[in-house]
């Protein structure tokens, strides 16, 4: 069993490392983002996951500066929303994010969802590849793609290599992000990524608290003397995922990072797993290629 600590990282296909524990800021109000992120950084988090759609990129990076940590020690992610998925709009969005956040580079930029159709997905990916070549972004990836979208992306990469001058010119998939927890494990997507060394990030790892109180979860929390949230975050880490818990409550921010002083047994990891497929968030993975 892998032994993790708060500094554990995943070596991406891009060559860069990404901290295995991230701090999510979905729906965190812009005026609360800096304080929440600064608390997280003070607690040892070194990975903040934002998005253009969240409207809080500035607060995230204000916190990085206020922390006095070197920029190189904090991993910052943002995402291209469906409404900006054209070549030109994506190029402008990258520059907009850099300006809004007042940073020199973005560690990771994801396509937030596969909406927009095949041509839009290819154009957006091409724009991100060019942004990597220009030094604006270090690593790129996708979010909420189904296996059919991932297969299509590999075809787009091959096409771009042919169009742009050879191997490597089509870009490298470093990270994929999905809602993943015991009640939405997405085994097919996880397997696809693991075969290609693509980091699997898990948002909503504590299921928005909607499964707290379920017998198996509560019994494991009691057995390991941990909260139900800590059990779920540790489950995610031991499955090899990169969980992205979010909170604006200082005590919970600390609690969600206090998951390195225990290990869930293989039997209990299996016990917590479920065959049901019950997302609690949106689920673009099931959308068709023409959507």
Known catalytic membership, residue 181: no
**What Å distances lie between residue 95 and 13, 62, 89, 255, CA to CA?**
24, 17, 10, 35
Nearest-CA neighbor of 109 among 145, 149, 60, 76? Answer: 76
Q: φ and ψ at 170, to 5 degrees?
A: -100, 0
Known catalytic membership, residue 54: yes
Instruction: Return the ∠ at Cα 236 (arms to 289 and 202), rounded to 5°.
Output: 30
**Which tokens in the block code for residue 152?**
């299509």
Torsion of CA 113, 115, 116, 122, to 10 degrees: 50
Contacts of residue 10, defined as CB under 8 A and 6 or more positions apart, other chains included, come to 17, 18, 20, 199, 242
Instruction: Choose the catalytic residue: 47, 112, 181, 241.
Output: 112
Matching residue, tokens 């995610």: 236
The rounded Cα 172 to chain-centroid distance in angstroms is 16
Instruction: Choose the catalytic residue: 16, 45, 47, 54.
Output: 54
Residues forming the active site: 54, 112
């Amino acid at each position: 069993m892998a032994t993790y600590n708060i500094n554990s990282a995943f070596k991406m296909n891009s060559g860069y490392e990404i901290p295995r524990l991230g701090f999510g800021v979905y729906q965190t109000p812009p005026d609360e983002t800096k304080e929440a992120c600064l608390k997280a950084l003070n607690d040892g988090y070194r990975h903040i996951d934002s998005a253009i759609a969240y409207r809080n990129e500035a607060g995230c990076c204000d916190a990085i500066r206020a922390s006095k940590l070197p920029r190189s020690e904090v991993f910052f992610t943002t995402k291209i929303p469906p409404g900006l998925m054209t070549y030109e709009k994506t190029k402008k969005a990258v520059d907009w994010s850099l300006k809004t956040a007042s940073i020199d580079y973005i560690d990771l930029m994801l396509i937030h969802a596969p909406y927009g159709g095949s041509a839009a997905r290819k154009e957006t990916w091409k724009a991100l590849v060019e942004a990597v070549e220009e030094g604006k972004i270090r690593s790129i990836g996708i979010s909420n793609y189904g296996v059919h979208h991932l297969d299509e992306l590999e075809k787009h990469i091959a096409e771009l290599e042919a169009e742009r001058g050879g191997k490597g010119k089509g870009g490298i998939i470093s990270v994929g992000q999905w809602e993943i927890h015991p009640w939405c494990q997405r085994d097919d997507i996880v397997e696809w990524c693991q075969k290609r060394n693509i980091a699997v990030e898990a948002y909503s790892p504590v299921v928005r608290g909607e499964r707290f109180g379920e017998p198996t979860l509560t019994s494991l929390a009691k057995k390991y003397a941990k909260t139900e949230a800590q059990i779920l975050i540790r489950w995610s880490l031991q499955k090899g995922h990169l969980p992205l818990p979010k909170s604006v409550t200082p005590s919970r921010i600390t609690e969600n990072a206090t998951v390195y002083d225990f290990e869930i047994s293989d039997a209990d990891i299996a016990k917590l797993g479920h065959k049901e497929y019950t997302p609690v968030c949106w689920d673009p993975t099931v959308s068709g290629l023409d959507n």
